[in-house]
Protein backbone atom coordinates (compact mmCIF):
# COMPACT_ATOMS: atom_id res chain seq x y z
CA UNK A 1 0.00 0.00 0.00
CA UNK A 2 2.90 2.35 0.51
CA UNK A 3 3.53 4.39 -2.58
CA UNK A 4 7.18 4.93 -3.18
CA UNK A 5 6.85 7.97 -1.02
CA UNK A 6 5.43 10.34 -3.54
CA UNK A 7 2.08 10.90 -5.18
CA UNK A 8 2.07 11.62 -8.93
CA UNK A 9 0.66 15.07 -8.32
CA UNK A 10 3.35 15.93 -5.83
CA UNK A 11 6.06 14.60 -8.11
CA UNK A 12 4.81 16.74 -10.97
CA UNK A 13 4.73 19.84 -8.76
CA UNK A 14 8.23 19.24 -7.47
CA UNK A 15 9.53 18.58 -10.94
CA UNK A 16 8.04 21.79 -12.23
CA UNK A 17 9.34 23.79 -9.33
CA UNK A 18 12.81 22.39 -9.81
CA UNK A 19 12.71 23.17 -13.51
CA UNK A 20 11.46 26.66 -12.83
CA UNK A 21 14.10 27.40 -10.19
CA UNK A 22 16.86 26.10 -12.40
CA UNK A 23 15.64 28.35 -15.16
CA UNK A 24 15.60 31.34 -12.81
CA UNK A 25 19.08 30.57 -11.54
CA UNK A 26 20.56 30.27 -15.01
CA UNK A 27 18.68 33.29 -16.31
CA UNK A 28 19.93 35.38 -13.43
CA UNK A 29 23.51 34.58 -14.35
CA UNK A 30 22.94 35.18 -18.03
CA UNK A 31 21.30 38.55 -17.47
CA UNK A 32 24.17 39.62 -15.27
CA UNK A 33 26.61 39.15 -18.14
CA UNK A 34 27.55 41.98 -20.47
CA UNK A 35 25.62 40.39 -23.35
CA UNK A 36 22.34 41.86 -22.16
CA UNK A 37 23.60 45.38 -21.85
CA UNK A 38 22.47 46.28 -25.34
CA UNK A 39 19.20 44.39 -25.68
CA UNK A 40 16.82 43.03 -23.09
CA UNK A 41 16.12 39.34 -22.85
CA UNK A 42 12.83 39.42 -24.71
CA UNK A 43 14.33 41.59 -27.40
CA UNK A 44 17.17 39.19 -27.90
CA UNK A 45 14.71 36.33 -28.00
CA UNK A 46 12.94 37.99 -30.89
CA UNK A 47 16.17 38.61 -32.76
CA UNK A 48 17.22 35.02 -32.13
CA UNK A 49 13.92 33.58 -33.32
CA UNK A 50 14.06 35.67 -36.46
CA UNK A 51 17.63 34.56 -37.09
CA UNK A 52 16.49 30.94 -36.98
CA UNK A 53 13.64 31.46 -39.40
CA UNK A 54 14.44 29.73 -42.70
CA UNK A 55 12.62 32.13 -45.01
CA UNK A 56 13.90 35.14 -43.12
CA UNK A 57 10.39 36.51 -42.74
CA UNK A 58 8.14 35.66 -39.82
CA UNK A 59 4.61 36.63 -38.93
CA UNK A 60 4.11 38.63 -35.78
CA UNK A 61 1.57 36.19 -34.38
CA UNK A 62 3.88 33.24 -34.94
CA UNK A 63 6.58 35.10 -33.11
CA UNK A 64 4.17 35.59 -30.25
CA UNK A 65 3.89 31.85 -29.68
CA UNK A 66 7.59 31.73 -28.96
CA UNK A 67 7.90 34.57 -26.51
CA UNK A 68 6.39 34.90 -23.06
CA UNK A 69 4.81 38.27 -23.77
CA UNK A 70 1.31 39.53 -24.44
CA UNK A 71 0.38 40.44 -27.97
CA UNK A 72 0.38 44.15 -27.23
CA UNK A 73 3.77 44.04 -25.54
CA UNK A 74 5.26 42.18 -28.46
CA UNK A 75 3.74 44.71 -30.81
CA UNK A 76 5.51 47.52 -29.02
CA UNK A 77 8.72 45.58 -28.55
CA UNK A 78 8.93 45.07 -32.30
CA UNK A 79 8.15 48.74 -32.80
CA UNK A 80 11.18 49.59 -30.65
CA UNK A 81 13.39 47.16 -32.53
CA UNK A 82 12.26 48.70 -35.78
CA UNK A 83 13.05 52.19 -34.54
CA UNK A 84 16.52 50.98 -33.61
CA UNK A 85 16.97 49.63 -37.13
CA UNK A 86 17.30 46.01 -36.06
CA UNK A 87 14.21 44.57 -37.75
CA UNK A 88 12.18 45.48 -40.84
CA UNK A 89 8.44 45.12 -41.38
CA UNK A 90 6.46 44.27 -44.46
CA UNK A 91 2.75 43.82 -45.02
CA UNK A 92 1.93 40.14 -45.43
CA UNK A 93 1.30 39.41 -49.11
CA UNK A 94 -1.52 36.92 -48.56
CA UNK A 95 -3.18 38.56 -45.56
CA UNK A 96 -3.85 42.26 -45.45
CA UNK A 97 -4.02 42.21 -41.67
CA UNK A 98 -0.68 40.53 -41.19
CA UNK A 99 2.81 41.86 -40.71
CA UNK A 100 5.98 40.09 -41.71
CA UNK A 101 9.26 40.71 -39.93
CA UNK A 102 12.86 40.07 -40.69
CA UNK A 103 16.22 41.06 -39.32
CA UNK A 104 18.04 43.93 -40.94
CA UNK A 105 21.74 43.46 -41.58
CA UNK A 106 22.46 45.39 -38.40
CA UNK A 107 20.00 43.23 -36.51
CA UNK A 108 21.51 40.03 -37.83
CA UNK A 109 24.97 41.19 -36.91
CA UNK A 110 23.96 42.23 -33.41
CA UNK A 111 22.20 38.91 -32.90
CA UNK A 112 25.30 37.03 -33.96
CA UNK A 113 27.54 39.05 -31.67
CA UNK A 114 25.34 38.64 -28.67
CA UNK A 115 24.59 35.05 -29.57
CA UNK A 116 28.26 34.13 -29.54
CA UNK A 117 28.76 35.61 -26.11
CA UNK A 118 25.50 34.16 -24.90
CA UNK A 119 26.49 30.68 -26.02
CA UNK A 120 29.80 30.98 -24.24
CA UNK A 121 28.07 32.01 -21.02
CA UNK A 122 25.63 29.12 -21.29
CA UNK A 123 28.38 26.67 -21.89
CA UNK A 124 30.20 28.00 -18.87
CA UNK A 125 27.15 27.38 -16.72
CA UNK A 126 25.94 24.03 -18.04
CA UNK A 127 29.31 22.50 -18.77
CA UNK A 128 30.49 22.24 -15.16
CA UNK A 129 27.02 21.29 -13.95
CA UNK A 130 26.07 18.36 -16.15
CA UNK A 131 27.88 15.75 -18.18
CA UNK A 132 27.27 15.58 -21.91
CA UNK A 133 25.02 12.58 -21.41
CA UNK A 134 23.04 14.41 -18.76
CA UNK A 135 22.67 17.43 -20.97
CA UNK A 136 21.37 15.27 -23.77
CA UNK A 137 18.88 13.67 -21.45
CA UNK A 138 17.80 17.05 -20.14
CA UNK A 139 17.39 18.30 -23.67
CA UNK A 140 15.35 15.24 -24.58
CA UNK A 141 13.05 15.56 -21.57
CA UNK A 142 12.43 19.26 -21.99
CA UNK A 143 11.76 18.82 -25.71
CA UNK A 144 9.28 16.11 -24.92
CA UNK A 145 7.63 18.30 -22.33
CA UNK A 146 7.44 21.27 -24.60
CA UNK A 147 5.95 19.33 -27.47
CA UNK A 148 3.39 17.72 -25.25
CA UNK A 149 2.38 21.01 -23.71
CA UNK A 150 2.53 22.91 -26.95
CA UNK A 151 0.38 20.37 -28.75
CA UNK A 152 -2.93 22.20 -28.71
CA UNK A 153 -6.38 20.74 -28.01
Partner DNA sequence: CGTCGATAGATGCATATGCATCTAAATCGG
Partner DNA sequence: CCGATTTAGATGCATATGCATCTATCGACG
DSSP secondary structure, 64-125, as one string: HHHSSS-HHHHHHHHHHHHHTTSEEEEE-SS-TT-EEEEE-HHHHHHHHHHHHHHHHHHHHH
Instruction: Choose among DNA, a second copy, none what residue 71 binds, the Cβ cut-off being 5 to 8 Å by kind.
Output: DNA
Q: How far is CA 146 from CA 42, 142, 151, in A?
A: 19, 6, 8
User: Quick one: which of 1, 2, 5, 9 contacts a second copy (CB under 8 A)?
Assistant: 9
Mask for 36-55, x = binds DNA (CB under 7 A): ----x-x-------------
Residue 138's binding partner among DNA, a second copy, none (Cβ under 5 to 8 angstroms by kind) is a second copy
Distance CA 25, CA 37 (A): 19
Q: Determine if 16 is a binding residue for a second copy (CB under 8 A).
A: yes
Binding positions for a second copy, rule: CB under 8 A: 8-16, 18-29, 66-68, 118-120, 122-123, 125-130, 132, 134-139, 141-146, 148-150, 152
Amino acid sequence: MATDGESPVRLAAETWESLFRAQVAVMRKLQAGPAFRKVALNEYDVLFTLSRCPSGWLRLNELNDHVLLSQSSLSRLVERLEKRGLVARMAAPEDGRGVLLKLTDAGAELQKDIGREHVRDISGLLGPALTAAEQKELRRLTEKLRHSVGARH
